[in-house]
């Protein structure tokens, strides 16, 4: 394995060959990694934009301008605008209770927060069908009172909240646990009330971690497919979100249309990744507790 | 403080000067109960009220068993692929400086950010017989899209970041002196990797495997486009749940979901135990 010629510049070739791979091995590993990433990540992403522009920009904008597409975009924005803030408030409240206090059952509560991540998205939708569907105990009552949850916007919002539930909380809990309670105790002892303590002391400490969690939560909320697919009923122009609209267009053999809508979602993913990387680069220390496990 | 509260007997919460415990815990619990616990216990209650005979009949139905086998089998295969290539990617990202590393590193998270339906149609178009990659494989007689292999391709995409992001921080933490010590004591590079580095990485690799596997079992959006969805051949369990729902066969949908959940929760338990064990052992 040792290759003294290649390590000629190194003061001690024997040691160098022991603490790093030989040059052919390094090139080989890098080639494997790059080919793998190209096949599974780069090509699919490039393909989305290529296919979207295949029939020309005219067709691209025509698809995006269709009433069904516009209503799907609106619904996706609406669902994210409701579910992300709710999960944000929950995440901050749960992290405050879990990270700033010692109480019985804390570990169990933390496990419950992560629960939706281990549930298949399809099951996340199914539980609401079982709860509010026509066959359920609530179903006839809801119908009699004209309340629509399933196959309507409330069901889509509920399923999205379920799926994106842990994102903000799981970013904040380790971060706030790491920061401890010293700053808050100092603020309280200096006469600040609870709200002032949160607003002027805690929030500035967690703002980048919070933004990081919201970013990931939003990406998932706008892109969720399985859970929403179960509860939406796929009514064109009414209960179709963007990912569902992609599916409909694709199944109608309108690949260029499907990829046009998909390219918007892929653009959202790229913006999310760029912001996420920026946050990690600039504020790595302030969101450090969220990296790794 | 600790002794004072111990003397005072059992306490739900340790005393603290920080306010807001009741409000935040109360809100978190109510929200958690309404959004997660009640709907999930509804599923548990509905499957329990099925009765053992009905439940068993659904669970042992040939199509159900095959769907579960396909879901768990392909997720297992994809997680195994990801363990090998994910670890290599993590190693290359940490150890080999190359231009554009930051961008490649960010790209690894693409499956977290890209909606699954978009990934699904992109991978299908890519690996279909006339797609960019499929057309290269077609003369060799290899079919990927619309076969169970296609499901594995989709799940490799979905699971990759779980392995890389679990293994990467552990590689970053490796103390170079350990490798130097092994080298000065006469170990070849291969021996150092196999005997010194790998044991330290093993818990993270196992955790990454379990996370990718757990995610793959429940995955729906990226799979249904590429799978072909032939019953008993390439039909995954989440799709069978949806098919049963569309037939208004709620007992069957509920039972399949309950079986999947029980297995998933068992796996979650194993993941937590593994993490606790690796933390204890490797700090």
ipTM for this prediction = 0.89
Q: Distance between CA B132 and CA A45 in Å, rounded?
A: 13
The most distant pair of C-alpha atoms in chain A lies apart, rounded to whole Å, by: 84
Per run of 10 residues, the mean pLDDT along chain A (length 293 residues) is: 44 58 89 96 96 92 94 96 97 96 91 90 95 88 90 95 95 92 93 93 93 95 96 86 96 95 97 93 72 42
Provide the pLDDT for residue B274: 75
Does B102 sit within 8 Å of A281, measured CB to CB? yes
Q: Is the dihedral of CA B154, B156, B160, B162 positive or negative?
A: positive
**Residues whose CB is less than 8 angstroms from the CB of residue A123 and which lie 6 or more positions away in sequence, other chains included:** B43, B218, B238, B241, B257, B260, B261
Q: In 3D, which of A221, A104, A188, A65 has the Cα closest to residue B19? A: A188
This prediction has a pTM of 0.90
> A174 vs chain B: nearest CA distance in angstroms?
15
B177 burial type by CB count under 10 A (0-12 exposed, 13-18 middle, 19+ buried): exposed
Q: Which element (helix H / strand E) includes A102?
A: none
Provide the pLDDT for residue B277: 78
Provide the pLDDT for residue A271: 96
B157 burial type by CB count under 10 A (0-12 exposed, 13-18 middle, 19+ buried): buried
For A132-138, which contacts have Cβ atoms below 8 Å and span 24 or more sequence positions? Answer: A133/B250, A135/B248, A135/B250, A136/B42
Of B13, B23, B267, the CB nearest to A103: B13
Query: Measured in whole angstroms, how far is the alpha carbon of residue B246 from the centre of its chain?
Result: 27
Query: Do A91 and B32 form a contact (C-beta atoms < 8 A)?
Result: no
Of B32, B88, B183, the CB nearest to A112: B32
A234 and B CB contact within 8 Å: no
Query: Do A200 and A143 form a contact (C-beta atoms < 8 A)?
Result: no
Provide the pLDDT for residue A12: 52
Query: Measured in whole angstroms, how far is the alpha carbon of residue A234 from the centre of its chain?
Result: 23
- What residues of chain B, 34 to 93, have a C-beta less than 8 Å from chain A? 35-40, 42-43, 46, 85, 88-89, 91-93
Provide the pLDDT for residue B273: 82
Q: 10 Å Cβ neighbour count for A22?
A: 16
List chain B residues with pLDDT less than 70: 1-9, 278-279, 281-283
Q: Is A293 helix (H, G, I), strand (E, B) or coil?
A: coil
> B232 vs chain A: nearest CA distance in angstroms?
19
Which alpha helices (H) appear in B38-147, and where do they start and end? 38-48, 52-59, 62-95, 101-107, 110-113, 116-127, 134-137
Query: Do B226 and B154 form a contact (C-beta atoms < 8 A)?
Result: yes
Q: Between A and B, how many CB-CB pairs are < 8 A?
A: 315
- What residues of chain B, 215 to 274, have a C-beta less than 8 Å from chain A? 217-221, 225, 237-239, 241-242, 245, 248, 250, 253-254, 257, 260-261, 264-265, 267-268, 272
Does B32 sit within 8 Å of A262, measured CB to CB? no
Residue from A80, A97, A198, A259 whose CB has the most chain B CBs within 10 Å, to mutate: A97
To the nearest 10°, report the CA torsion of A193, A198, A201, A204: -160
Q: 10 Å Cβ neighbour count for B10?
A: 7
Question: A122 to chain B: which residues are within 8 Å by CB?
Answer: 218, 220, 238-239, 241-242, 257
Q: In 3D, which of A194, A186, A208, A175 has the Cα closest to residue A283? A: A208
Q: In 3D, which of A103, A101, A213 has the Cα closest to residue A166? A: A213
Instruction: Give A103's DSSP letter.
Output: B
For chain B, the 3-state helix, strand and coil shares in percent, each to the nearest 5, are 80, 0, 20
Does B220 sit within 8 Å of A115, measured CB to CB? no
Of B20, B242, B267, the CB nearest to A122: B242
- What residues of chain B, 117 to 176, have a C-beta less than 8 Å from chain A? 117-119, 121-123, 125-126, 132-133, 153, 156-157, 160, 165-166, 168-170, 176
For chain A, the 3-state helix, strand and coil shares in percent, each to the nearest 5, are 80, 0, 20
**Residues whose CB is less than 8 angstroms from the CB of residue A211 and which lie 6 or more positions away in sequence, other chains included:** A279
| Closest residue on chain B to A135 (Cα) | B250
Q: Distance between CA B237 and CA B63 in Å, rounded?
A: 9
Provide the pLDDT for residue B215: 92
């Amino acid at each position: 394995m040792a290759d003294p010629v290649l390590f000629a510049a190194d003061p001690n070739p024997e040691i160098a060959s022991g603490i790093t791979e030989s040059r052919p091995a390094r090139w080989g590993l890098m080639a494997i990694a790059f080919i793998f990433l190209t096949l599974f990540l780069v090509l699919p992403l490039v393909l989305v934009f290529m296919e979207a522009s295949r029939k020309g920009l005219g067709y691209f904008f025509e698809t995006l301008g269709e009433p069904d597409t516009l209503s799907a975009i609106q619904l996706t924005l609406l669902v994210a605008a409701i579910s992300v803030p709710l999960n944000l408030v929950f995440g901050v409240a749960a992290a405050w209770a879990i990270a700033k206090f010692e109480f019985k059952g804390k570990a169990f509560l933390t496990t419950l927060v992560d629960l939706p991540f281990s549930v298949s998205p399809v099951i996340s939708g199914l539980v609401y069908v079982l709860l509010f569907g026509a066959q359920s105990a609530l179903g006839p009552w809801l119908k009699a009172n004209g309340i629509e949850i399933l196959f309507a916007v409330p069901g889509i919002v509920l399923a999205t909240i379920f799926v994106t539930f842990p994102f903000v909380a799981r970013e904040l809990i380790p971060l706030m646990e790491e920061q401890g309670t010293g700053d808050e105790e100092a603020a309280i002892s200096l006469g600040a009330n609870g709200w002032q303590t949160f607003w002027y002391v805690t929030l500035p400490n967690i703002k980048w971690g919070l933004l990081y969690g919201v970013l990931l939560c939003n990406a998932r909320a706008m892109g969720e497919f399985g859970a929403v697919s179960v509860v939406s009923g796929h009514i064109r122009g009414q209960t179709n979100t963007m990912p569902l609209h992609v599916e409909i267009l694709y199944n109608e053999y309108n690949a260029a249309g499907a990829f046009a809508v998909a390219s918007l979602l892929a653009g959202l993913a790229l913006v999310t990744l760029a912001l996420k990387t920026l946050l990690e680069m600039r504020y790595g220390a302030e969101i450090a507790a969220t990296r790794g496990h | 403080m600790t002794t004072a509260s111990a003397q005072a007997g059992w306490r739900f919460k340790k005393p603290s000067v920080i306010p807001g415990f009741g409000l935040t815990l109360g809100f978190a619990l109510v929200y958690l109960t309404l959004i997660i616990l009640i709907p999930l216990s509804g599923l548990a209650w509905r499957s329990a009220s099925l009765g053992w005979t009905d439940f068993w009949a659904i669970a042992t139905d040939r199509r159900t068993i095959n769907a579960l086998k396909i879901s768990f089998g392909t997720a297992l295969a994809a997680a195994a692929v990801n363990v090998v290539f994910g670890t290599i990617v993590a190693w290359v990202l940490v150890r080999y400086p190359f231009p554009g590393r930051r961008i490649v590193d960010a790209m690894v998270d693409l499956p977290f950010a890209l909606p699954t339906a978009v990934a699904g149609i992109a991978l299908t178009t890519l690996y279909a017989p006339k797609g960019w990659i499929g057309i290269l494989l077609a003369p060799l007689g290899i079919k990927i899209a619309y076969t169970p292999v296609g499901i594995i391709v989709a799940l490799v995409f979905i699971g990759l970041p779980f392995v890389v992001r679990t293994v990467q921080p552990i590689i970053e933490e490796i103390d170079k002196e350990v490798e130097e010590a092994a080298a000065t004591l006469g170990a070849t590079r291969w021996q150092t990797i196999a005997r010194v580095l790998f044991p330290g990485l093993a818990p993270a690799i196992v955790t990454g495997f379990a996370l990718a596997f757990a995610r793959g079992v429940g995955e729906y959006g990226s799979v249904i486009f590429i799978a072909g969805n032939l019953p008993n051949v390439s039909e995954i369990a989440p799709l069978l749940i949806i098919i049963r729902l569309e037939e208004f066969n709620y007992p069957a949908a509920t039972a399949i979901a309950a079986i999947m959940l029980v297995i998933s929760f068992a796996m979650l338990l194993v993941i937590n135990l593994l993490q606790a064990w690796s933390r204890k052992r490797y700090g």
